[in-house]
Amino acid sequence: MDTYIPVMTCLQFVFYMGWVKVIEGVLNPFGEEDDDFETNALIDRNIMGMMIVDQGYDRPPEVRRDPFWEEVQPLYSEETSRIRNNPPRGSLDPGRNVIHPECFNGRNLSSP
């Protein structure tokens, strides 16, 4: 008795099952376990947020006075405004001692 092995059919089955696994990962990238993200809920929440923003685009709220309208809080107090602010100086700051390329013409590098 001769037995035949359908090689092409076996290959098709292997490739189809492989593509099913790939597509399963593409359709639900966060998985389907209990502790995974609920993809549909995330998409629904984002769509609802975008709808709220889109519907209120041309209707800004009116400007009203609040209880703190006249009260201005300075960014710095008088005490902290006297403290000298020393921002970081970069490597291209003109006040830094930098060796210029002109110094590399064979002379001593310590004397510019």
In tens, the pLDDT along 24-54 reads 878 777 666 766 777 778 889 999 988 888 8
Q: Mapping DSSP to helix (H, G, I), strand (E, B) and coil, where does residue 18 land? A: helix
pTM score of the predicted model: 0.28
User: Structural domain boundaries of the chain?
Assistant: 33-58
Q: Mapping DSSP to helix (H, G, I), strand (E, B) and coil, where does residue 13 land? A: helix
**Integer Cα distance of 112 and 109 in angstroms:** 6
pLDDT (0 to 100) of residue 16: 95
**Integer Cα distance of 12 and 20 in angstroms:** 12
Six-digit token string for 11: 């290959």
Q: Provide the sign of the torsion angle of the four alpha carbons 92, 97, 102, 105, taken in this order.
A: negative
Six-digit token string for 101: 């390329």
